[in-house]
Structure 1
């Protein structure tokens, strides 16, 4: 039985921080602003405790949070080309906050919202009401996310949502990890992703086609260090200034029936291992896509350490639908309609080897 406890403390700007602590004194701190993952304190193989999440030193930075440190992203994680989509014959224009494109929910995304909190036996539940017209989206939306930390070092994130009119929905968590606790960059981290294809992008990081990972820098079917791959002469790495691509996760069957749809079961899709600390992070999800981002634009951002972050000081593994999927042939799969319940489960489990 889990012995996880949840405590709260007040911070600046009316923010409350909630700390989940398991029986082994592993601690995860979550803010009610943006349902944000703030810190994850965990020991290495020598018992030395460090924070494996990147973030700001106080609540000030999270008021704008341009890197999206730890934020709960919505209504749409990742990009929508030209900030436009058509839904049931009607054209919609949503916030364009990255050039001509829509990114991570726009100027007033969920990562900046004040969420309502309920502490229960099943974990920390945060809820948010997103009104029709927010960022240009149709329909009123009610979103819930449940965080739970168990005694095996597994952080579970269970999402659900309902609406009163059809709306695109693609939720994700934008935690930045560094398994050495910030003592070095992520070059030595050894990554594995269960995907045979990834989505190649154009100069605006909008997907243009699916491509095989075979023979490319993107092939993490077998574990490989991140640093050497970043040095490969690959045009896709040049475009993105590193990895910022969605992997098409392997499908697992049988699927799970859910309100007339067949969805993927929860299955492990990625692992990251840091040889220096012995920490290993495993990711499992019900989603079809996994965005691997290698922290290409961290340089100069002041985090919790005395020195500012550098490029590739952290990585993200964001479970989600495909970027710009609302404008593709499988758009219906990312439309939430009245009477349906959006569901997603993603877990991050930390162990020491």
Structure 2
């Protein structure tokens, strides 16, 4: 790769031609580096986080993200591997909502529900990418009617890899008509660095409540985590919690639930910590969002990996900062409607270190 931007301790390599889509459009990728020689690889396809090499407690670099081998795997897969998600992260019941008295129907791509932006969501788009402010700036125009959503939406996402091991993700969007918006990133983490899965990882989430779901994976109640496998207020081994006999775990075949985060939405605060005892790597998550979706990768079976094989269930997990699933159909709908003249903004940080 050719260096296109230099900072005293950080560097951006790229763009490098990675491959082509079925229609012939080229796909490119970039690498962000910091003073620790951490390396985060990002593609314009889906704005996807392809790779993150980070040191373990002995200083040895290892992969902490799941990923595919080729652009085709990302373009045709349904795992949203490392991608930016929009214009609506998570689910909307029956793919329907009413906004300002007007009924809308959006893509139904998950057993009759809308999921992660629909059939051609942001995860399948080619983003415009350029180095900016020591990181990468990605831009996307989503036209009126795409996926069924109203109004033109212009989105900007900035990735920055800092010398303290943190990857900041800043989102900004504006529109010309009122539209629902709920953006997130969808990286799958395995901090062991050996592909062994996340069963031995320790997880902590600053949340006293979570959203229980029905068979369609749509929230139906806000429940206390106390006395349940959802109580991650203190670090707990993920594998042991998955073994608990709980009806919500049976419905989702694992964790695929949104936690109602402690603290004030709109204010950045620490919300989660993931630790792998085998490697000593620790992931800290902070965000200004109200919710954090924990997904334990139970449907990863058959997803192509980087080496020509495939992942198994539970090979990685997602911690997705976002608004609440189906919030557009709730009494909090106004909080997830972007209107002309206003701006959507989100700030989320994933920080890696080793102890």
- Normalising by the smaller structure, the TM-score range is over 0.9
Contact 1:95 1:102 in 2 (8 A): yes
Which residue does the alignment assign to 2:332?
330
Q: 2:9 aligns with which of 3, 16, 25?
A: 3
- Partner deviation per Cα, 1:142-171 (whole Å, 9 max, x = no partner): 000000000000000000000000000000
Q: Among residues 12, 19, 22, which one is paired with 1:12 in the alignment?
A: 19
Is the contact between residue 186 and residue 312 of structure 1 (CA under 8 Å) also seen in structure 2? yes
Deviations 1:190-220 (A, max 9, x none): 0000000000000110000000000000000
Number of aligned residue pairs: give it: 343
Provide, for residues 58-103 of structure 1, a one-character-per-residue CA deviation record: whole Å limited to 9, x for no partner.
Answer: 2220112310000000000000000000000000000000111000
Distance of 2:85 and 2:195 partners within structure 1: 28
Please state how far the C-alpha of 1:299 moved relative to its aligned partner.
1.3
Contact kept? 2:55, 2:353, Cα under 8 Å? no
1:101-128 deviations in Å (ceiling 9; x for gaps): 0000000100110111121234100000
2:165 paired residue among 142, 153, 159: 153
Matched, 1:188 2:177: no
1:277 aligns with 2:282: no
> What is the rounded CA distance, in whole Å, between the counterparts of 1:301 and 1:62 in structure 2?
10
Q: Could you tell me the TM-score, scaled by structure 2's length? A: 0.95
Deviation at 1:300, TM superposition (A): 2.0
2:277 counterpart SS class: coil
Q: Note the alpha carbon deviations across 1:23-76, whole angstroms, 9 max, x for none.
A: 111000000011110000111112222111101012220112310000000000
Whether 2:255 is the aligned partner of 1:248: answer: no
- Whole-Å Cα distance in 1 between the matches of residues 100 and 317 of structure 2? 37
Task: State the SS of the aligned residue for 1:297.
Answer: coil
Q: Secondary structure at the match of 2:71?
A: coil
Which residue of 140, 145, 156 corresponds with 1:133? 145
Measured in 2, the distance between the counterparts of 1:150 and 1:243 equals: 30
Alignment match, 1:208: 220
Whole-Å separation in 2 of the counterparts to 1:132 and 1:49: 44
What's the secondary structure of 1:205's corresponding residue? coil
Aligned to 1:257: none
Shift of residue 2, structure 1, vs aligned partner: 6.3
Task: Tell me which of 286, 311, 314 is aligned to 1:312.
Answer: 314
Are the equivalent residues in 1 in contact too, given 2:69–2:308 (CA < 8 A)?
Answer: no
Single out whichever of 193-202 and 174-183 deviates more from structure 2: 174-183
Q: 1:148 to 1:55 in 2, by over 3 A?
A: same
Question: Which whole-Å CA distance do the structure 1 matches of 2:335 and 2:132 have between them?
Answer: 32
Partner residue in 2 for 1:169: 181
Alignment of 1:1-353 (within 5 A): 3-8=9-14, 9-13=16-20, 14-252=26-264, 263-305=265-307, 307-353=309-355
Conservation of the 8 A alpha-carbon contact between 2:45 and 2:71:
no
User: TM-score when scaled to structure 1?
Assistant: 0.95
CA distance 1:44–1:306, shift in 2 (3 Å): farther
> In structure 2, what is the Cα distance between the partners aligned to 1:213 and 1:64?
37
**Aligned partners of 2:340 and 2:42: how far apart in 1?**
30
User: Unaligned 5+ residue runs, structure 2?
Assistant: 1-6, 21-25
Q: How many Å apart are 1:306 and its aligned residue?
A: 5.2
Residue in structure 1 matched with residue 4 of structure 2 by the alignment: none
Over the aligned positions, Cα root-mean-square deviation in angstroms equals 1.1
Describe the SS at the equivalent of 2:331: coil
SS in 2 for 1:195: coil
**Residues of 1 paired with 2:211 and 2:351: CA distance?**
26
1:259 paired residue number? none
Distance 1:237 1:199 in 2: 12
Asked whether the equivalents of residues 137 and 158 of structure 2 are also in contact (C-alpha less than 8 Å), the reply is yes
